[in-house]
Chains A and B, each alone.
Chain A
Amino acid sequence: MPVLTFARGIFPPHRKSASQALPIEQSALPSEVVILMSQHAGAPAQPLVEVGEKVLAGQKVGEVEARITAPVHSPVSGTVSAIDSCPCASEGVRRGGRITIKVDENQTAAPSSSVEEVTPDSIRDAVHEAGIVGLGGAGFPARVKLSPPPDRKVDTVIINGCECESYLTADHRVMLEESESVVDGALLVAQAVGAQTIVVGIEENKPDAIAAMKRAADGRMSVVALKTKYPQGAEKMLIQVLTGRTYPVGKLPSDAGCAVQNVQTAAAIHAAVRRGTPLIERVMTVTGAVKNPKNLRVRIGTSVQSLIDQCGGFSRTPGKVIMGGPLTGVALPTTDVPVVKGTSGIVVLAAEEVSEASAEIPPCIRCGRCVRACPTFLVPSQLGLLAQNKMEDIAAERYHLFGCIECGSCAFVCPAKIPLLQLIRSAKSAAMLGGTTR
């Protein structure tokens, strides 16, 4: 049987071998954690604690009333040492405040309890109370995804185990080591949205994960091997590959009758419903130019520097420290940044692997590689040109600017090394300021 995949896309180097065989390790208890109030799409949380207050591990420390938001919890017991606004060190760190907590030597957990009667409503409530957001990176609050509008029938739950970004192996390890939790989480998601079908999509470069998930699924859901191609794990591509359905720009997966959750999100939903555990830690890969790459279970709010230290420090002079994968992640200006719920990994690129962005944008030779790479059928070279000429309205109206899913495939393949994704993003923000959305 041919392996399923979408049209176009790219084949970046995998670079997963350094960490894919390493079991998940619990990261060391940090001396301090910094909890950001906005680790999700939507309204930032408001602090519920005050400076000097004692908090327990798993205690809720921030929330706000809004449809699209998620509460945040302390992953440690300790004392609140500061509450201030976050300097917005990176794109991944959104606006909003932060709570700094000095960590106690002896850890005490807040009481927690499992959901007694599991119903769609109780699942949604537990998921929200646990502060669960999409752990694939987008950080969309999971409760919203579990609450499709009544006029839309969601019949299929898709569990995203693609992990199509280079370097990252955290989801791979979770599927191997916690397959039962992922499967149970998937069943809970299906119950919450009222779906009959569950499909787990995994890239075929993880045969052990496919086997482990098939065993755990035990016929209750299908586990499908997908071609190893980027961006296989992008929501639109994954839905099309597994169900044949597509939806236009501006619509949601629920318009195609689907709800997509990352494997770690599914495992977190399992923990929240069955054990009452809030989302206070997650598995991430710390790899690249570090001495001992690892898959670490990290408390949210731990600093990036302390994770690099736990991996033996830099193995070569660092050129870039990326939060997330190298194709869509954020280059950090400093390692003194806390990890957030959406952090799937820390990838260090050595100085010799990094080229300074050139001040001038090189000329496009119109080779068309970006057109052949774009999984959403755009003309990225033209979008880049329009962005440079501040013609974002034409880009939006004629060249479908907002169809871009920002996967970066165009910039990856560009032989002239034009920063196409950056140009397209700038055009998008300019167009949104100008009021154009299509």
Chain B
Amino acid sequence: MAEDRLVVSSPPHITSDAQTSVIMFWVVAALLPVTLYSVYIFQARAAVSIIMAIAGACGAEAALQSLMKQKVTLSDGSAALTGLLLALTLPPMLPWWMPLVGGVAAIGLSKYVFGGLGFNIFNPALVGRTVLLLSWAQYMTTGFFEKLQVDTITGATPLYVAKQVRDGLVRYDFAPLHKQYLLANPYGCIGEVSALLLLAGAGVLLYKGIIDWEIPATYLGVVVVWSLVFGADPVFQVLSGGIILGAFYMATDYVTSPITPKGKLIFGAGCGFVNMLLRFYSGLPEATAFSILFMNALAPMIDRFTIPKPFGWVKADAAE
């Protein structure tokens, strides 16, 4: 009798074909053009960093899950994506083992300390980057620029110059830099090699409904408005310092950003605000990672205070 085999479970009995692994695949796919282009520009140095970061993240995930006797879930692609995102935030010429350490830190410190996929508070890739930044600062920041000899005017990064411009210390025209940041920027992190390719990938993610518009919109909106109000070059502010990568790929990380639509708007605006605050009023011009990590900490609270009103809500309801 066929009946023995009938499955009895709660509705709905059909579901969409969306899957966690497919979502992760699309994010990786969206990042693929910029990844390949970075390898073209930076050659083997970028390739080694990318491979090592992914290896570190995947290795840590597999090792920790085996250690905790959990099912190893490398196939959901989230560890690989963490590794790739981490690599894209790194300078292109670190010692080979450093991205590996970063990948392990991203997964171990950020994800599994809090209980694995879905439970981490801080963006894993940015935690990995921060660990490297605090441990080997000279490799992660100015050392990189000095070795490449890219001093635009005063021996500092362009963003530092922007701060000096704002303070009236120097004059500098950023317009010629726009094209460089959009098309081929050899002086930034691996993922900053072309803002245009990052934007193209983000367009795909928005179109596929994989990321929502709210966070990038308010993030970039605040950066632009701030720039206009305080006399900075808005296009340069958006294109530099990893803000495109941060706004579209880091701040939109599902687990570490608010889930409510209103919460996303607030979160994005907060990222933009903290980012600009750190850029112009701290000794830390490359502030994108810290601003997103800071807002990550606030995300649960933002969610808590932006619970949507249910269908048909009327004020009198609350009083009853």
B-binding residues in A (CB < 8 A)? 10, 12-13, 166, 236, 240, 246-249, 251, 314, 317-322, 326-336, 347, 349, 351, 353-354, 356-357, 362-369, 371-372, 375-379, 381-382, 398-400, 403, 408, 411-417, 419, 421-422, 425, 438
Contact = CB atoms under 8 A, between A and B. Distances in A.
A28 to B, nearest CB: 21
Interface in B1-37: 2-3, 5-16, 18-20, 22-23
Nearest to A399: B307
Contacts of A356: 7
Interface stretch (B116-124, B126-134, B194-202): B116-124
Given A13-B14, A369-B18, A422-B10, A381 B259 contact: yes
Contacts of A400: 307, 309-310
Given A13-B14, A318-B6, A251 B20 contact: no
A398 B116 CA distance: 27
B308 interface: yes
Given A251-B312, A371-B260, A421 B10 contact: yes
Nearest to A8: B311
A34 B9 CA distance: 24
A319 B311 CA distance: 36
B67 to A, nearest CB: 18
A408 B255 CA distance: 23
A413 B210 CA distance: 12
Contacts of A363: 116-119
B173 interface: no
A316 B311 CA distance: 41
Contacts of A10: 16
A412 B2 contact: no
A331 B16 contact: no
Contacts of B2: 314, 317-318, 335
Given A251-B312, A327-B11, A368 B259 contact: yes
Given A12-B14, A248-B314, A371-B259, A415 B23 contact: yes
B221 interface: no
A330 B11 CA distance: 7
Nearest to A357: B9
B13 A322 contact: yes
B212 interface: yes
Interface of B: 2-3, 5-16, 18-20, 22-23, 78, 116-119, 209, 212, 254-255, 257, 259-261, 264, 303, 307-314, 317, 320
A417 B22 CA distance: 13
A411 B118 contact: no
Contacts of A251: 312
Given A327-B11, A327-B12, A321 B20 contact: no
B14 A236 contact: no
B6 A425 contact: no
Given A412-B15, A413-B16, A417-B15, A332 B8 contact: yes
7 contacts: A320-B13, A328-B12, A354-B13, A366-B254, A411-B12, A413-B18, A414-B18
A321 B310 contact: no
A334 B3 contact: yes
A398 B320 CA distance: 15
A123 to B, nearest CB: 29
B6 A334 contact: yes
B255 A366 contact: yes
Nearest to B9: A357
Contacts of B307: 379, 398-400
A370 B313 CA distance: 19
Contacts of A366: 118, 254-255, 257, 259
A331 B6 contact: yes
A314 B2 CA distance: 9
A417 B317 CA distance: 34
A249 B16 contact: no
The 5 closest A-B pairs by CB, nearest first: A403-B310, A422-B10, A408-B12, A246-B312, A363-B118
